[in-house]
Amino acid sequence: MNRWSFKVKVGVYAALLTMAALIAGVCVMLLTLYFHQVAELDEELAEDASELVWDLKNFRNAPQDPSHPITEDFIPVPLRNHYLVVEGPDGSPVYQSANLKGQRLDQANIGEAVNARLSGRLCRVGAWKEGPYTVRIGARVSMIERFMKNLGIGFATALPVVGLVVFFGGMWLGRRTVAPVAELSAAAAKVSASNPKERLPLPGTNDEIERLTEVLNSTFDRLQDSYEAVARFSADASHQLKTPITILRAGLDHLSRSGDLTESQSREIATLLQQTRRLTSLIEDLLLLAQADAGRMALEPESVDLSTLVLGAADDLQTLVAERGIGVELDVKPDLSVRADRRMVSMALQNLVENAAKYTPEGGQVRVAAAVSGGNAVVTIANTGSPIPEADRGLLFERFRRGTETGGHVRGHGLGLNIARELIRAHGGEVSLNSSEDGWIVFQCRLPLLG
C-alpha cells in the first residue's frame, strides 16, 4: 500500500468507504423491508381470520352452533393454501386444513404472529380471537424470502460496478487534488547543492497550497544562506589555512636538510614537522567534512572490487600493529563489486582499520571480514578491547568525540569515524557500531553491490 500513488490511494479508499457505506445501508434497508413485509403479512392474516369468521356468521347454511364442525366449503379460497385451524368456544378444533398433516398450529398466542417451521418450511403463524371462534393461520414466507433474495442479488451485482465507478472517480479527484503538490515536488526536486537558487512557483490559488509554497521557499532561502556560508568557509579555510601550513612544512623540510644543525635543533625541527603533518591532516579532514556538509563532495564512481580495497586496508593494518603483538585475522570473500569512488572508499576503510589498531591493546586481535548480505557488500572490522560504555556509543560518530576511556594514550582528533561514515553515506551506504560485548568491538560498513 505504501508504494501506491496518492491518487490510487484516494480511489481505493473512496471505493472501499463507498462500498462499506452501501453494504451497511443495504443491510439496514433489507432488514427494514423484511420486517415491513412481515408486518403486512401479519395484517393480511388477521384480515383473513376476521373475514373467515364473518363468512361463518353470514353465509347461508353456515353452522349456527360454533362447536359444530366446519366443512371446507365454508373456507374462503385464498385461505385454502394456508395452514388453518379453527377452534370452537371450548378450544376444540372445528376445522383443520389437510396440509397440516397432524402438525400443531399453536405456536402463537392470541393476537400475535410468530415465525415457525411447518413441513420443513419457514412460515408465519398467527392466532386471532373472533367472536366464538379462535382462528389460527400459518402462511409461508417464501415470497418474502424470494423477493429479499432477488433484491440482495441485485445489490450484490451492482456493488462492484459502484465500486469501480467510485474508484476511478476517486482517482480523478485525487489526480486533480494532488496536481499542485506534484508540481511543487517537481520544482522542489530541482533545488540542490548545484542549483541552490531554484525556487517553487507560486500557484496563485490563495489557499493552503500557496501558503505551503511560501513556507518552503522561505526554508530554501535559509538553506541557501547556510550553504553559501559553508561554501565560503571551505574556500576561506583552504586559502587561509592550507597554504600557510604548506609553506611552513616546506620551510621546516629545508631547515631539516641543513648540515649545520645541532642534535637538539634537529630533534626540535623533527617534532615541529610531525606536528605540522598532523595539522595538515586535520585541515584536510575538516575541508573534506565541509565539502560533505555542503553537498559538494566530488565523487568519481566506477566499478570497484571492494575485496581488493579491504585487503589493501588489512595490509596497512598489519603494518600498524606489527610491533604490538596484535594478531590480524582475514576472511574476505572475493569479487565484491561495488560502484564507488576508489579513493574515498579506501580512505573510509583506512580510517576504520586505523581506529581498530588504535584501540586494540597489545597482544589483542583484529578481525577483518567482507561478505555479501541482503544485496549489500558488508565489511566487518572487529577488535578486542574494553567494551565501549553505553553513554559513549551514541557519540562515537560525532566530530571531535573520543571515548572517555582512552586513557590519553590514543592519538587522534576524533574525526576518523565521522569521516568514514560521511564517505560511505555519500555512496548510499552506512557505517555503524554493530556490537560492543564479549570483549569485541565490531563495526560494520555496508555498500550496495553493483548490479
The amino acid at 429: G
pLDDT (tens digit, 9 = 90+) per residue, 66-79? 888 888 877 888 78
**Half-sphere exposure of 312 toward its Cβ, with a 13 Å CA cutoff?**
14
In this predicted model, which residue has the larger pLDDT, 248 or 239? 248
User: What value, to the nearest 5°, has the Cα angle with vertex 353 and ends 323 and 359?
Assistant: 65
List C-alpha distances in Å: 55 to 48, 52, 355. 10, 5, 111
CATH superfamily, with its number, for domain 302-448:
Histidine kinase-like ATPase, C-terminal domain (3.30.565.10)
pLDDT of amino acid 1:
43
In this predicted model, which residue has the larger pLDDT, 173 or 137? 137
Domain assignments of the chain as residue spans, ordered by start: 6-148, 208-294, 302-448
* Helix 263-294 vs helix 416-425: crossing angle, to nearest 10: 30
Architecture of domain 6-148 in CATH? 2-Layer Sandwich (3.30)
| Residue 345 contacts residue 424 (beta carbons within 8 Å) | yes
Q: Quick one: what percent of the chain has pLDDT higher than 90?
A: 16
pTM flag (> 0.75): no
**Helix/strand/coil (H/E/C) assignment for every residue in 68-100:** CCCCHHHCCHHHHHCEEEEECCCCCEEEECHHH
Highest mean pLDDT (candidates 256-265, 363-372, 416-425, 426-435):
363-372
pLDDT of amino acid 311:
92
Q: How many other C-beta atoms lie within 10 A of the C-beta of residue 433?
A: 16
pLDDT (tens digit, 9 = 90+) per residue, 81-128? 889 999 888 888 888 888 888 888 888 899 899 999 988 889 999 999
Segment 354-372 mean pLDDT: 90
- Say which residue the cell 462500498 belongs to: 19
Q: How far apart (Å, rounded) are the C-alpha atoms in residues 10 and 175?
A: 9
